[in-house]
Amino acid sequence: MESSRQITNDPVMLEIFWERCISIVDEAADTLVRAAFSTVARESNDFGCAVCDSDGTGIGYTTKGTPRMSIILPRTIRAIIEKIPADTLQDGDVLFTNDPWYGSGHLPDFYITMPIFRHGKIVGYAGASSHVADVGGTVSTGARQVYEEGICFPPVKLFRAGAPDPVIFSIIEKNVRVSDMVLGDLNALITSCRTSARELVKLMDETGIDDLRPVSAELNARTEKVFRRAIEEIPDGTYSSSIQTDGFDGPVKLQCAITVRGSDVEIDCAGCSPQASPGGINVVYNYTYSAFVYVLKCVLDPHTPYNEGITRPVKVTVPPGTILNAQFPAPVFARNQTAHYIPAMAMDALSKAIPERVMAACGSPTNRTNFSGRNGLDGRPFSYMMISSGGMGACAGKDGYSCTPYPSNSGSPPVEVIESVVPLTIRRKALRPDSGGAGEFRGGLGIELIVENSSGQPMQVASRMDRVENPPLGLAGGGEGGLAGIWMDERPFPPKGRGELAPAHCMLIHSPGGGGYGPPRQRDANKLAEDLREGFVSTGNAETHYGWKPQ
């Protein structure tokens, strides 16, 4: 305890300790990426890592992966420990769940945590999460209940005192399409947590700390203080926004009112559409909460390393049974098709108070198209999720990035990687001219993909796509981004549907562009000339939106 007090009273030592914690979870993240079998973790960064003290309070989060997964991890760890109490745990135990209401909102996200023992007592918890390649079920958005979407594990002991539970592993193996890949990713998550646990004990040995909680409390208090100071820069008031999504079989309304009082933020989501059925586009509260916290962090304090201190000034209220607080057993497989609208809605609300700090709507949700079949490149069943990212929205002073996933941070693997793991041939991958919203600062461009079935056999296709009808909106007079779309052999394909792709036939996929910022006719002439030269903007678009005249 004396060492803990010495560190908490020494700003330099405290900073060194925190940086070491972050480096530990970054090493755990690298371990996860190197050990993962599927491209979704290895190439697309769809994972999170964190270390917590013995109360389950987050101390350090990885700087890699998907931030919202890391934000959720301590909440998940505490919920797991409520079901499997600390006094029942042994050194070598590994806990596991993929229950959407414990984690980040859908079954493909696997969550692993393990108690960290030192001198015979629990000093903390290591946590890691990742999207895995398959969990069985429909692999589509059309389910009426979560039961149809795949296998679900409540919090369970995956290992007991270092010994694996063969029953759980065999259940997973029997219920997923690509068991080697899923079990490989599960073992990668376990190895990641073991890395965090080993290195955290080593840090405690070096510093002589017996109890992480005093240091954790000080680090979280400092983070909270910095974040509250950033919140205080927003004028007090209530700022509202309402947005429409494509929904499943009809439009969905999302609504929020963000109230700022001093250094506190209260977000009320009353007025949202009820949870959907059929249609796995529902969002659990955890994921909604983390999305609001994440966007506030991005807007107000993007540079300070974060821990659970950033969650303390933020209260989010969502009526149960609505689409942003779906109740069991609602289908949730495609929850990102709704949740990825939250940052655009929040930034639109905040634009009424701090317009210079926010950006126009991004070309998200990230489109996801699942290809699966019985005979992959190795002759075994395969299931592959193709991610096609849209353009980011522009902001005051800066164009949006093209084909950049926000807020998911989970991108598409290189063409060479895709073609090396599944029987798909990428016939075209290119930026879509004119898809970025016009503005003084232009929205990022979406992508065009042409994907051919090169397996020699029919292949199942399931699409998760939004913004086919509701484009990303601009801000401060900026134009809207281009719409998304999907076609099979030049015929429209259901944006949230299923079908069969014949051998040598193709899917055409368009991701949306980001919204523009500011009046287009105020765009710098040199930037517009560069857009024309690079093919980002056509001459017709330049004439119509920017007032450009041929020389």
Residue 524 neighbours by CB distance under 10 Å: 10
Contact 537, 434 (CB under 8 A): yes
pLDDT for residue 1: 53
Q: Which segments within 69-119 are labelled E, that is strand? A: 94-97, 109-118
- Is the pLDDT at 411 greater than 90, yes or no? no
DSSP-derived letter for residue 326 is P
The whole-number average pLDDT for the span 220-240 is: 96
Judged against a pLDDT cut of 80, whether residue 522 lies above it is answered with yes
Tell me the one-letter amino acid at 420.
Answer: S
**Worst-scoring range by mean pLDDT, 15-19, 35-39, 338-342, 411-415?**
411-415
Helix (H, G, I), strand (E, B) or coil at 290: helix
Mean pLDDT for the stretch of residues 370-379: 90
Single out the residue of 85, 59, 58, 70 nearest to residue 29, CA to CA: 70
- What per-residue string of b and e applies to 480-498 under the rule 16 or more CB within 10 Å gives b? bbbbbbbebeeeebbbbbb
Q: What is the DSSP letter of 502?
A: P
pLDDT of 114 higher than 90: yes
Alpha carbons 551 and 545: distance in angstroms, whole number: 17
Phi, then psi, of 22 in degrees rounded to 5: -65, -40
Confidence label for 125 from pLDDT (cuts 50, 70 and 90): very high
What is the arithmetic mean of pLDDT over 324-340?
95
Helix (H) or strand (E) holding 258: strand 252-261
User: Which SS3 state, helix, strand or coil, does residue 6 take?
Assistant: helix
Q: Among all chains, which residue has been given the structure tokens 């979560």? A: 146
Q: Which amino acid is at 177?
A: R
Residue-level pLDDT at 161:
96
What would you report as the CA-atom Rg of the chain, rounded to the nearest whole angstrom? 23
- Exposed / middle / buried, residue 120 (Cβ in 10 Å: 0-12, 13-18, 19+): exposed
Going by their DSSP bridges, the two strands 382-388 and 424-431 should be labelled as: unpaired
Contacts of 198 (CB under 8 A, 6+ apart): none
Q: Give the range among 96-100, 177-181, 272-276, 430-434 with minimum mean pLDDT.
A: 177-181
Separation between Cα atoms, residue 301 and residue 224, nearest integer Å: 11
550 band by pLDDT with thresholds 50, 70 and 90: confident
110 CB-contact burial (10 Å; exposed 0-12 / middle 13-18 / buried 19+): buried
Dihedral class, residue 341 (left if φ above 0, else alpha if ψ from -120 to 50, else beta)? alpha
Return the pLDDT at 410. 75
pLDDT score for 42 = 81
Minimal CA–CA distance to 223: which of 116, 282, 303?
303
Q: Which pLDDT tens digit goes with each residue over 67-87?
A: 888 899 999 999 999 999 999
Asked if pLDDT for residue 375 goes beyond 90, the answer is no
The strand pair at 485-488 and 491-492 is best described as antiparallel
pLDDT at 138: 84
Query: Rounded distance, CA 367 to CA 411, Å?
Result: 10
| Residue 2: pLDDT over 70 | no
Residue 41 has pLDDT above 90, yes or no: no
**Terminal CA-CA length for the chain:** 75
Per DSSP, the three-state class of 315 is strand
What is the four-CA torsion angle of 22, 308, 313, 323, rounded to 10 degrees? 120
User: Residue 239's closest CA among 386, 395, 358, 67?
Assistant: 358
